[in-house]
Amino acid sequence: MPTFDGAVDGLVDVLVRDGVVVAVAGGGRLGADGAERVDLGGRTLMPGLWDAHVHLTQWALVRRRLDLSGARSAAEAVALVRDRLAEGLPEPGTALVGYGFRDALWPDVPTADLLDAVAGEVPVVLVSGDLHCAWLNTAGLRFAGVAEHPTGVLREAEWLPLAAVVDRAPDHLADAWVADAAAAAAARGVVGVVDLEITDNLTAWRRRFAAGFAALRVRAGVWTPWLNDVLAEGLRSGAVLPGTGGLLEQGPFKVVTDGSLNTRTAYCHDPYPGLTGPEAHGILSVPPAELVPLMARAHAGGLRCAIHAIGDHANTLALDAFAATGARGSVEHAQLLDPADLARFAQLGVVASVQPEHAMDDRDVADRHWAGRTDHAFAFGALDDAGAVLALGSDAPVAPLDPWFAIAAAISRSRDGRAPWHPEQRIGLRTALAASTDGRGLVPTAGAPADLVVLDADPLVLGADGAGAGAGGGGAGAGGEGADGADAGAEALRSIPVAGTLLAGRWTHRTF
């Protein structure tokens, strides 16, 4: 097979033994008596891909839910609900669950009454695309345990404690759906995920691996309600759980410190246009007085910290907490940044765990609600220039669990034929790929796990037209409609054909 980027001239042999890459050398120079030989037929080989931020159970469930992402108004969403109910009612004791609506730009207002008109006594629970709010009808409110509500739209603290209501499914069924979602991810070259599901995550994953799950490596994050259990067990981030074939690790400690852009609850230095009062700047759900001791305790127990911060003020406070505690880990999302904070990521050794596809989903909302500040929104190029380590992810189900989508958005800042949005914040293709391989680089190396992806096309060639010039090389400014050809290569990357995926030297996907 050819090397990914010419590190070895001509074809190469890669020797895999006991789940590890043993050697990489020029074609024909490796001897391996008794080893199975697989001719990749000139295809491209690179380290397998990781998604650095997923909610895998929610993603598995969303793949079976009513898709509301295309609704441009409350009326259109209601019509989608009506049409689904016409096809059949949900099972008794369950609700019709929809996912993906974004109401920040809707011309009308979602209310329980609108859903009542088409659903009657059938419980309906519609979850927003960013997971930070839900729209329910009257029966849906009762289903969720809410006696009454003035609008039926529950945001942030009203909704998040109830979010598990839409995840009600027997373990065996949810686990089967997760296995199906994992197989689909493997078919896109994914070998591992950081799973930040809001649940007793480790218990769920131990059950799945005991039942034979083997499609992905999983780092299972832990939230505050289960922190004591993990610390009592002495589990440090990176600890491999026994009985899982080496595939399940203890992940980071997750804290959500603010809200989201779409709900105008991301905590910002400046107020949102048109808002006044105590929440005009957004919501700080975990202030420093709570965050610092939480992080210090997790750090003392050997856990990395994954701190959700979307608004620029929330990011400042998250970085302050890393500095105060000496904790290691990541800021999750880092969507709006004070330029003064850019260099602090590298200085503190904090990873910027970002989801480039969110920038494509939220560009219009950002232009409205972060007006005048979008030059430092989703600032991937500036972070890269400042020396920050980037890790790309999806936050599935907020965006699809497909790293090629994240890579394409990161290098082009465009999608669907639109002109690039703040192209000065693009990053180079090699940087985006490296940010998707969990630190494994771009070529297979001896001693690394044999977690590899076989591609029917060379991404450096396929994506060249959409790679831009990296940070600072963007071109004609932000906004504007109409494709200028800059995203042609990136669009091709979104559907790059994956011929095979190896996990610890074992095929999890193969088409040849």
State the pLDDT at residue 310: 98
Question: What tens digit of pLDDT does each residue of 106-122 get?
Answer: 999 999 999 999 999 99
- Kindly tell me if the per-residue pLDDT of 318 is higher than 50: yes
> How confident is the model over 276-303, as a mean pLDDT?
97
- Kindly tell me if the per-residue pLDDT of 34 is higher than 80: no
State the pLDDT at residue 86: 97
> How confident is the model over 26-38, as a mean pLDDT?
75
State the pLDDT at residue 482: 37
State the pLDDT at residue 221: 98
> How confident is the model over 379-397, as a mean pLDDT?
98
State the pLDDT at residue 32: 65
State the pLDDT at residue 396: 97
State the pLDDT at residue 6: 45
State the pLDDT at residue 311: 98
Tell which residue, 251, 170, 248, 168, has the closest CA to residue 210.
248
The reported pTM is 0.87
Contacts of 397 by beta carbon, 8 Å cutoff, 6+ apart: 55, 58, 59, 61, 62, 63, 99, 100, 131
State the pLDDT at residue 168: 73
> How confident is the model over 399-420, as a mean pLDDT?
96
* Mean pLDDT, the chain, whole residue set: 92
Question: What tens digit of pLDDT does each residue of 142-198 get?
Answer: 999 999 999 999 999 899 899 888 877 789 989 999 999 999 999 999 999 999 999
- Kindly tell me if the per-residue pLDDT of 429 is higher than 90: yes
% of the chain with per-residue pLDDT over 90? 84
Q: Residue 502, SS3?
A: strand
- Kindly tell me if the per-residue pLDDT of 91 is higher than 90: no
Question: What tens digit of pLDDT does each residue of 439-498 get?
Answer: 999 999 999 999 999 999 999 999 876 554 444 333 333 333 333 445 788 999 999 999
- Kindly tell me if the per-residue pLDDT of 321 is higher than 90: yes
Across 224-259, b (16+ Cβ under 10 Å) vs e yields eebbeebbeeebebebebeebbebbbbbbbbbbbbb
DSSP letters for 397-457? TSS-S-HHHHHHHHHHS--TTPPPSSGGG---HHHHHHTTTTT--SS--TTSB--EEEESS
> How confident is the model over 344-370, as a mean pLDDT?
98
> How confident is the model over 211-225, as a mean pLDDT?
98
State the pLDDT at residue 94: 86
